């Protein structure tokens, strides 16, 4: 940790940059309120120099199967149809015999990491990817699984990671929301997944259901007035607010609102522009492909380019990856729909140099059983699953940790969801034990009392 010199700190504070976790340092939630008049979303200094400035979380909600995507298991293929030796671990439902992956795996990249045939394009990017094969979580049900992955707790009573990140670091573009969530419709659980909980409301994720630029953010467009008239109207409002303020000297909150009105005015054009993927060259649009998810991936790049702190893209409404039946067909279709867009995003970020400062996370809320459910499906599995990270200070072309021979449970270098959170925060320049918020007399953190940074995957 590089200590920030006092001089530097004061110099930066003079330019309006706050300090991360200041509220925590003030040691008193009541007094932290005195800071309210300043913009809570202004960029703040991290605990230590950050590797990543932005996070893009591609959330494969419903939970993809590890043994069919990034964790090949030859032993599973060999023993296909046999009862698993030892206990069949407890998951949501009863499952049957070992069930081999219907997909072939191919060695990819210089690293020669095996990736399922359903992700040919992502396979080509594998040298920029670190696959964590030893993830595990607490409960094999969607709701607690989704909540733990997004908020670090199995009940809907905590702020989400994006809220923590914007609380800690602010955001770089005040004309756009700092934490954007894209999902057509709603994932299971719903808004609690991007909830600010006890953090101030400004840190809630801005959910975008419809990528039509005119409708991205609520009230983003004035449908009653031409832009010229709106400017005239706002000028008058500014003048009247100015007279009001002059009679009440020295009140920051009045200034803050006046400024905020101007930012809102700019947000109207900036946000519509940022989400407008049709402004991209045809070649780029073709590389991403068609559909909501592809557009959301492309919009993600446009957003981080403009300084948005965290973008979370849910693959689809409900829980699309939840293939209890016919995992072959289900996974193949969804992979086909997303492979191109995800790889295009990685390449696009890399080409512009943004990948260095953008951490991309791919994964679900848990994994699936290597044993079969019904004829050809797989049940939920909290004991072992995989996610992958790319960019933002993570080593590429590597795998980390391992599940057992069948891919049931993580056994080597186990990484809990809390550890993943600790690692993401670390890459963003945050000590996960020090990013705290005083609420009800106690300091809370994303990782609760847990979390160890997975140092081996850091560059």
Partner 1 sequence: MLAAQCRYGNMLMALPPNASGHSLNPARQPTPPNIRGLLLMVIMLRTALTLALLVPALASAAEPDAKQVEFFENKIRPVLVEHCYKCHSAEVEKAKKLKGGLRLDSREALLKGGDTGAAIVPGKPAEGTLLLSLKYDGDVQMPPKGKLPDAVIKDFEKWIADGAIDPRAEKAAVATGGIDLEKGKQFWAFQVPKEPTVPKVAGSNASTNPIDAFVRAKWEEKGLTPAPIADPRTLLRRAYLDLIGLPPTPEQVDAFLADQSPNAFAKVVDELLASPQHGEKWARHWLDVARYAEDQAHTFGVKPKSQAWRYRDWVITALNSDMPFDRFVKLQIAGDMLPDAPEDPFLKHAGLGFLGLGAEYYKNTAREQAIAEELDDRVDTLTRGFLGITVACARCHDHKFDPIPTRDYYSIAGIYMGTAMSDAPLAPAAVMKEFTDAQKKVKTAEDNLKKAQKDAKDKPADKTLSAKAKELADEVAELKKKMPPQPAVAHVVSGNGPGMKVYVRGNPATKGEDAPKGFLQVLPCEATAGEKFTRLDLANAIATPANPLTTRVIVNRVWAWHFGRGIVATPDNFGSLGERPTHPELLDWLAVNFVKNGWSLKWLHRQILLSAAYQLQSTPSAENDKIDAANVYLWRGQRRRLDIEQWRDSLLAVSGTLDATIGGPTFNLKDAGVNRRTVYAKVSRHELDGLLRLFDFPDANVTAAKRTVTTVPQQQLFALNSEFMASQAKAFAARVEKLGKTDAERITAAYRLAFGRSPQSREVELAERFLQLPPKTDDKLTRWQQYAQVLLASNELMYVD
CB 48, min distance to partner 1, A:
11
Position among 88, 138, 209, 317 found at the interface with partner 1 (CB under 8 A): 138
**Residue 110 vs 246, nearer CB to partner 1:** 246
Distance CA 21, CA 25 (A): 6
Position among 53, 340, 426, 445 found at the interface with partner 1 (CB under 8 A): 445
**Applying CB under 8 A, does 369 fall inside the site for partner 1?**
no
Position among 77, 88, 141, 209 found at the interface with partner 1 (CB under 8 A): 141
Position among 33, 112, 210, 269 found at the interface with partner 1 (CB under 8 A): 33
**Residue 177 vs 370, nearer CB to partner 1:** 177
**Residue 92 vs 337, nearer CB to partner 1:** 92
Structure tokens at 422: 């600790």
Sequence-distant (6+) residues with CB within 8 A of 109 are 123, 124, 125, 126, 127, 397
Position among 95, 154, 171, 343 found at the interface with partner 1 (CB under 8 A): 154
**Dihedral sign for Cα atoms in the order 258, 259, 260, 266:** positive
Q: Could you tell me which stretch among 39-47, 94-102, 335-343, 368-376 binds partner 1 (CB under 8 A)?
A: 39-47
Distance CA 300, CA 319 (A): 21
- Beta-bridge partners for 131: 388, 399
**Applying CB under 8 A, does 111 fall inside the site for partner 1?**
no
Distance CA 183, CA 177 (A): 16
Q: Could you tell me which stretch among 55-63, 218-226, 306-314, 364-372 binds partner 1 (CB under 8 A)?
A: 218-226
**Cβ atoms of 335 and 118 closer than 8 Å:** yes
Residue where the block lists tokens 């110099």: 11
CB 93, min distance to partner 1, A:
10
- Beta-bridge partners for 260: none
CB 428, min distance to partner 1, A:
19
By CB under 8 A, what part of segment 274-303 binds partner 1? Answer: none
Distance CA 415, CA 394 (A): 15
**Residue 83 vs 155, nearer CB to partner 1:** 155
**Coil vs helix vs strand at 189:** coil
By CB under 8 A, what part of segment 414-443 binds partner 1? Answer: 414, 433-434, 436, 438, 440-443
Instruction: Decide the pairing of beta strands 358-363 and 54-59.
Output: parallel
**Dihedral sign for Cα atoms in the order 279, 284, 289, 295:** negative
By CB under 8 A, what part of segment 158-217 binds partner 1? Answer: 174-175, 177, 188-192, 195-198, 200-202, 204, 206, 217
Question: Residue 291: CA atoms inside 13 Å, Cβ hemisphere, count?
Answer: 14
Would you list the DSSP string of 67-95? TTTT---HHHHHTTTSPPSS-----SS--
By CB under 8 A, what part of segment 396-415 binds partner 1? Answer: 411-412, 414
Residue spans of beta strands (DSSP E) within 324-446: 358-363, 367-368, 380-381, 385-390, 398-400, 402-403, 410-412, 415-416, 437-439, 442-444
By CB under 8 A, what part of segment 51-110 binds partner 1? Answer: 92
Position among 139, 284, 398, 458 found at the interface with partner 1 (CB under 8 A): 139
| 335 Rama class: left (phi>0) / alpha (psi -120 to 50) / beta | alpha
CB 327, min distance to partner 1, A:
21
Q: Could you tell me which stretch among 75-83, 149-157, 282-290, 339-347 binds partner 1 (CB under 8 A)?
A: 149-157
Q: Where are the alpha helices (DSSP H) in 95-198?
A: 120-124, 142-151, 161-169
CB 94, min distance to partner 1, A:
13
**Coil vs helix vs strand at 376:** coil
CB 298, min distance to partner 1, A:
24
CB 161, min distance to partner 1, A:
16
**Applying CB under 8 A, does 42 fall inside the site for partner 1?**
no
Binding-site residue total for partner 1 (CB under 8 A)?
114
Position among 26, 42, 284, 458 found at the interface with partner 1 (CB under 8 A): 26
Q: Could you tell me which stretch among 53-61, 105-113, 154-162, 274-282 binds partner 1 (CB under 8 A)?
A: 154-162
**Applying CB under 8 A, does 35 fall inside the site for partner 1?**
yes
Q: How many CB atoms lie within 10 A of CB 162?
A: 28
**Applying CB under 8 A, does 312 fall inside the site for partner 1?**
no
By CB under 8 A, what part of segment 220-279 binds partner 1? Answer: 220-226, 228-230, 232-234, 236-237, 239-241, 243-245, 248-251, 253-254, 256-258, 260-261, 263-265, 267-268
């Amino acid at each position: 940790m590089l200590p920030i010199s006092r001089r530097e700190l004061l110099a930066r504070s003079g330019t309006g940059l706050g300090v991360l976790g200041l509220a925590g340092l003030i040691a008193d939630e009541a007094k932290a309120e005195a800071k309210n008049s300043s913009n809570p979303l202004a960029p703040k200094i991290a605990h230590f120099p950050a590797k990543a400035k932005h996070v893009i979380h591609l959330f494969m909600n419903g939970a993809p199967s590890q043994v069919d995507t990034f964790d090949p298991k030859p032993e599973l293929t060999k023993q296909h149809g046999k009862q698993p030796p030892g206990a069949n671990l407890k998951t949501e439902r009863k499952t049957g015999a070992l069930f081999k992956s219907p997909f072939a795996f191919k060695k990819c990249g210089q690293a020669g990491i095996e990736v399922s045939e359903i992700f040919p394009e992502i396979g080509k990017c594998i040298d920029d990817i670190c696959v964590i094969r030893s993830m595990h979580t607490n409960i094999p049900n969607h709701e607690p699984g989704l909540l733990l992955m997004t908020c670090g707790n199995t009940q809907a009573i905590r702020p989400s990671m994006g809220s923590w990140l914007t609380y800690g670091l602010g955001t770089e573009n005040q004309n756009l929301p700092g934490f954007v969530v894209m999902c057509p419709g709603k994932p299971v659980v719903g808004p609690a997944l991007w909830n600010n909980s006890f953090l101030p409301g400004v840190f809630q994720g801005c959910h975008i259901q419809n990528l039509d630029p005119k409708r991205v953010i609520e009230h983003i467009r004035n449908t009653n007035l031409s832009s010229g008239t709106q400017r005239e109207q706002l000028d008058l409002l500014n003048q009247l607010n100015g007279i009001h303020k002059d009679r009440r000297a020295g009140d920051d909150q009045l200034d803050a609102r006046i400024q905020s009105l101007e930012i809102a005015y700019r947000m109207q054009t900036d946000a519509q522009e940022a989400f407008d993927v049709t402004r991209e060259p045809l070649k780029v649009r073709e590389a991403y492909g068609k559909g909501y998810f592809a557009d959301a991936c492309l919009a993600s790049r446009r957003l981080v380019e403009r300084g948005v702190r965290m973008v979370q893209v849910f693959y689809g409404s409900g829980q699309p990856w939840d293939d209890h039946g016919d995992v072959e067909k289900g996974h193949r279709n969804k992979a086909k729909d997303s492979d191109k867009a995800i790889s295009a995003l990685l390449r696009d970020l890399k080409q512009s140099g943004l990948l260095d400062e953008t951490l991309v996370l791919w994964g679900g809320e848990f994994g699936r059983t290597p044993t079969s459910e019904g004829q050809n499906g797989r049940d939920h599995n909290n004991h072992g699953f995989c996610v992958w990270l790319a960019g933002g200070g993570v080593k590429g072309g590597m795998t980390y940790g391992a599940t057992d021979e069948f891919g049931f449970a993580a056994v080597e270098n186990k990484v809990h969801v809390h550890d993943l959170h600790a690692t993401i925060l670390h890459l963003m320049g945050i000590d996960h034990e020090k990013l705290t918020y005083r609420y009800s007399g106690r300091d809370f953190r994303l990782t609760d009392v847990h979390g160890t940074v997975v140092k081996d995957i850091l560059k």
